[in-house]
Amino acid sequence: MNSIFNLTLEELISVLESNGFKKYNATQVFEGIYKKRVSDFDDISNISKELKSFLSSNYSLDYLSVIDALKNENTNKYLLNIGTESIECVLMKHDYATSLCISTQVGCNMSCAFCESGRLKKVRDLSVSEIVLQVLTIEKLENIRIQNIVIMGIGEPFDNYDNLVKALDILTCPKGIEIGSRHITVSTCGIVPKIYEFADLKTQVNLAISLHAPNDMLRSKLMPINKAYKISEVMEALDYYIEKTNRRVTIEYIMLDGVNDTKECAYELISLLKGKLMYVNLIPYNSTSHSEFKRCSKEKINNFYQILSSNGIGVGVRREMGKNIKGACGQLRASHKENHEN
Ligand code: SF4
């Protein structure tokens, strides 16, 4: 049965109107499932018996089930069941708010050299409901409201673009979950045509780019997507996004020991970004047993940070959360798969 959480408000209006119900009924249903979080359509008190029966016969209200959870002081990592597959999401509890990092695909085809999810390859795209339900399921499980969402779990969001955009519509809908657009960040490896499409939506959703290298030769080695879209093309697309939205773009830069952490790399990065509305997020690398890469020392990260910062580039080092609980994207799912396959 189709999940009700696949439908945007517009789509629900059209389904209900074409089945003889009123437009305002869609708002009542949305408020019932997203504001009151009913677990049965019968519990939406302000709709007719006919509508309850129509909904129950055509749509499911099921949440996702949790297969595994690893917790530490400020980070919980969950493996969620989606039929024959599983997906990951990570809850991070900061002093000021809670953030949930969610996935958009099962595995990923982008094959970034340093990434666990890329190692497992894409099995399929997540449906709209599977993206939205990560948020609803964790909120119910933890009895919390999530303030920030980062779409940088498993998968390349722009490789599942249509479902991503619908899920964003539902997550931000004032009649629904109502998370502010500015509290959501989508992270892409740089699929250029989709950056233009996303900019044209003129949403206030934040954009982050996984750059990870300041020149094409190195980036193509780390991220095969760079063979399709060069850094200069990504930068042009980001300029367009900034012009359309006036939103600052985050440049994600994972620090790999001896690979992209040199002074030369820092200066190349500065000349790429100087004068642009961009902010660099330096990410300490989480080594895994499969990886050929090593973690940079704190000192190297700090040196890199200082060079950028003293040259007028906005920069921060990502606070490490979840390092001891298979914190990097895809690690929990990868280790589960291996345990079951061995
Ligand atoms: S880093 Fe992101 S885009 Fe690259 S393989 Fe991993 S999940 Fe895919």
pLDDT of 109 > 60? The answer is yes
Q: Model confidence at 318, in pLDDT bands (50, 70, 90)?
A: confident
Q: The pTM is what?
A: 0.93
In order of their start, the domains of the chain are: 2-60 (1.10.150.530), 65-341 (3.20.20.70)
CA distance 34 to 202: 25
- How many angstroms separate the alpha carbon of residue 124 from the centre of ligand 1? 14
Per-residue pLDDT tens over the stretch 174-219: 999 999 999 999 999 999 999 999 999 989 999 999 999 999 999 9
Residue 118 CA, closest ligand 1 atom number: 5
Burial code (b: 16+ CB inside 10 Å, e: under 16) for 112-148 equals bbbbbbbbbebeebbbbbbbbbbbbbbbebeeeebeb
Query: Of all protein residues, whose CA lies closest to atom 5 belonging to ligand 1?
Result: 118
- Given 88, 139, 156, 252, which residue is catalytic? 88
- How many angstroms separate the alpha carbon of residue 324 from the centre of ligand 1? 21
Can you tell me which residue has the tokens 């597959």? 85
- How many angstroms separate the alpha carbon of residue 275 from the centre of ligand 1? 28
Comparing CA positions, the residue from 90, 85, 152, 153 lying closest to residue 124 is 85
Query: Of all protein residues, whose CA lies closest to atom 7 belonging to ligand 1?
Result: 155
